[in-house]
Chains A and B, each alone.
Chain A
Amino acid sequence: MDVAAQTPAAPPLTALRHKHLLGIADLSAEEIVLILDTAEAMKEVGRRTIKKVPTLRGRTVINLFFEPSTRTRTSFEIAEKRLSADTLNVAIASSSVVKGETLVDTAMNLEAMSPSMIVLRHASSGACHLLSRICKAAIVNAGDGMHEHPTQALLDAFTIRERKGRLKGLKIAIVGDLLHSRVLRSNVLLLTKLGAEVWVCAPATLIPPGMQQMGVRVTTKVEEAVEGADVIMMLRIQLERMQGGYFPSLREYFTTFGMTEARVKRAKPDAIIMHPGPINRGVEIASEVADGSASVILDQVANGVAVRMAVLYLLAGGTDDETVA
């Protein structure tokens, strides 16, 4: 390993402009690169025998999850613990929300116990923006309704950059339920900011209006989307939201849009397959593809911890009344 191989000049940007991470929409390309670079250093911490650094010692981080989540919540919790923060999880089933307390009241009560940061997942779009206006703590969006899921997009970008060395100029095909996906929105915002060529593909019923205005190519033919792609990103068919009759059956969806080995062959030979999880085998993705050598699905999960450590580190610090930009 050549330890002398360093970048010669210090990069101009070393901090984020905002106190909260509410969405990719608020971040500049430069800030995104800063988070990804910081995450690389954080990934090294995860390879150590002692996977812990004292950076956030004495800081309290509350994970406030109003929707079920395994991956995102455990990933945030591990990231917080590796930075030595004190963490606590408020799960909806055991909280006063079931007694009728509103989101704002819950947040104000938690705020009274002076946490440094609140990681929020909520079923309503804009919940994080609401809390960011009333809380002193920094708010980290862990998924709000159909709006954004910024840390997912950041870990996806980190994984792509790790495999391909860059994002600019790559053809990235995103296939699946575009209509209900906050992962899609965050990813499209991020990937277009960093200069990737993004294609999105879904049945016409699952394409939200205004997709073209986001700077992506839209198609209903999966073969067209994956043709020559560097990255194939699958989105989950959200079974719990499929009461609207968007397509005739799951089986028909798989036949028309499912990622099979035959379809993957149309992409570049070194293309990678991504999925934010949880995957529905035999619905949006064939098992052979999900478990195949081109799949980086579990790398995404591993990288999630490093990316979230980077976000927590970059948002921590600063005084309470500081409202940057």
Chain B
Amino acid sequence: MPVVMDAERISRALTRIAHEILEHNRGLSNLSLVGVRSRGVPIAQRIADDLRKISGEDISVGALDITLYRDDIMGASAGIKPLVRKTEIPFSIDGRTIVLVDDVLYTGRTTRAALDALTDFGRPKSIQLVALVDRGHRELPIKADYVGKNVPTSRQESVQVKLRELDGVDEVVLQGKE
């Protein structure tokens, strides 16, 4: 069970991403972060903390639940339905630059659902994408603007992101499936 990122590497990657967001957008005016539940939310919070430290400006963070927009739950067996949680975006996204934050970018289907969910709340000026881990195997034309680490994988493997806030530990683990 190889650890592909430890706490320090995760922290450095997120700080680098914060710098890249600042550089790419030439500042933070009119920019907000939205984390995709569940693990995108604490990652978005940490990037926001880094952005505050670097720029001194405050930045708003929202949480997006995409369950009701997924394309794979209604055909599946009734036993594996994911829990629906609240979407909490305490600001208007109209005309803002929204940085969507997720833990793992894989097929791109989660991101597709997140884009649909987000655009139901308004019309952002632009949407950018952060992924802590990009593991490849895209099934849709979606690409991340900011990547913590590219991890080459096979489809048989799975990538587990564990975060202090939810799992008590910061690490990214690559698991092979037998």
- In this assembly, does B165 line the interface, its C-beta being within 8 Å of a C-beta of chain A? yes
A1-B88, A3-B41, A313-B68 given as contacts; is B83 within 8 A of A10 (CB)? Answer: yes
Assess the B78–A4 pair: CB atoms within 8 A: no
Contacts of A52 in B (CB 8 A): 120
Q: A15-B79, A50-B120 are in contact. Are A41 and B88 (CB under 8 A)?
A: no
Taking chain A's interface residues, is the majority helix, strand, or loop, or is none over half, making it mixed?
Answer: loop
Whether B78 lies near A14 (C-beta < 8 A) is no
Q: How far, in whole Å, are A316 and B74 apart by their CA atoms in the complex?
A: 7
- Report Cα–Cα, A10/B79, bound state, in Å: 15
* Bound CA–CA A54/B71 (angstroms): 9
The distance in angstroms between the C-alpha atoms of A4 and B38, with both chains bound, is 10
A53 CB–B CB distance under 8 Å: yes
Report which of B67, B81, B90, B120 forms a contact with A15, defined as CB distance below 8 A.
Answer: B81
**B13-47 interface bits toward A, Cβ cutoff 8 Å, 1 = contact, 0 = none:** 00000000000000000000001001001100100
**Chain B contacts for A14, CB-based, 8 A:** 80-83
Q: Once the chains bind, are A4 and B45 in contact (CB under 8 Å)?
A: yes
**A129 — which chain B residues lie within 8 A by C-beta?**
none
Residues on A with C-beta less than 8 A from B87 are: 41, 44
A13's closest neighbor in chain B, by CB? Answer: B83
What's the nearest-Cβ distance from chain B to residue A79, in Å?
A: 13
Nearest CB in chain A: distance from B80 CB, A: 7
In the complex, how many angstroms separate the beta carbon of B103 from the nearest chain A beta carbon? 14
Interface size, chain B (Cβ < 8 Å): 36
Assuming the A-B contacts A44-B86, A48-B121, are A317 and B75 also in contact, with contact meaning beta carbons closer than 8 angstroms in the complex? yes
CB distance from A171 to the nearest CB of B (A): 30
Closest CB in chain A relative to B111 CB, distance in Å: 16
Q: With A and B bound together, what is the CA distance between A82 and B77 in angstroms?
A: 23
A37 to B82, CA, bound (A): 12
Known: A317-B81, A324-B78. A54 touches B86 (CB 8 A): no
- Best-buried of B68, B87, B166 by chain A (most CB within 10 Å): B68
In the complex, the answer to whether A318 meets B65 with C-beta atoms within 8 Å is: no
Provide the B76-115 mask, 1 if CB < 8 A to any CB of A, else 0.
Answer: 1111111111111010000000000000000000000000
Q: Is A240 an interface residue (CB 8 A)?
A: no
B73: Cβ under 8 A from any A Cβ: yes
Give the complex CA separation of A38 and B84 in angstroms.
6
Instruction: Tell me the nearest residue of chain B to A314, going by C-beta.
Output: B81
Find out whether the CB atom of A8 lies under 8 angstroms from the CB atom of B166: yes
- Given A6-B38, A318-B78, A319-B77, is A54 in contact with B69 using a C-beta cutoff of 8 Å? yes
Is B62 engaged at the interface, CB distance under 8 Å to the other chain? yes
* Residues in B neighbouring A322, C-beta threshold 8 A: 77-78
A207 within 8 A of B: no
The listed residue (B41, B74, B122) touching A59 by CB distance below 8 A is: B74
Question: In the complex, are the beta carbons of B84 and A41 less than 8 A apart?
Answer: yes
B92's nearest neighbour on chain A, judged by CB, is: A49
Task: Decide if B63 is an interface residue (CB 8 Å cutoff).
Answer: yes
User: Judging by beta carbons under 8 Å apart, are A6 and B41 in contact?
Assistant: yes
Residue of A nearest to B42 (CB): A4
A314 to B74, CA, bound (A): 10
Residues of B within 8 A of A182 (CB): none
**Which of the residues A3, A34, A316, A324 comes within 8 Å of B88, measured between beta carbons?**
A3
Which A-chain residue is minimally distant from B85 (CB atoms)? Answer: A41
A86 within 8 A of B: no
Specify which chain A residues have a CB less than 8 angstroms from the CB of B80 in the assembled complex.
14-15
Which of A15, A40, A310 touches B86 (beta carbons < 8 Å)?
Answer: A40
* Docked-complex contact A54 and B78, CB < 8 angstroms: no
Interface residues of A in 1-40 (CB under 8 A from B): 1, 3-4, 6, 8-11, 14-16, 19, 34, 37-38, 40
Are B86 and A53 neighbours in the complex by a CB distance under 8 Å? no
Residues of A within 8 A of B (CB): 1, 3-4, 6, 8-11, 14-16, 19, 34, 37-38, 40-42, 44-45, 48-50, 52-56, 59, 83, 310, 313-314, 316-319, 322, 324
Q: Chain B residues in contact with chain A, CB under 8 A? A: 35, 38, 41-42, 45, 61-63, 65, 67-69, 73-88, 90, 116-117, 120-122, 165-166
Known A14-B80, A50-B120; further 5 A-B contacts with Cβ < 8 A: A41-B87, A54-B116, A56-B74, A59-B74, A317-B73
The 5 lowest CB-CB distance pairs between A and B, nearest first, are A318-B78, A53-B68, A41-B84, A3-B63, A55-B68
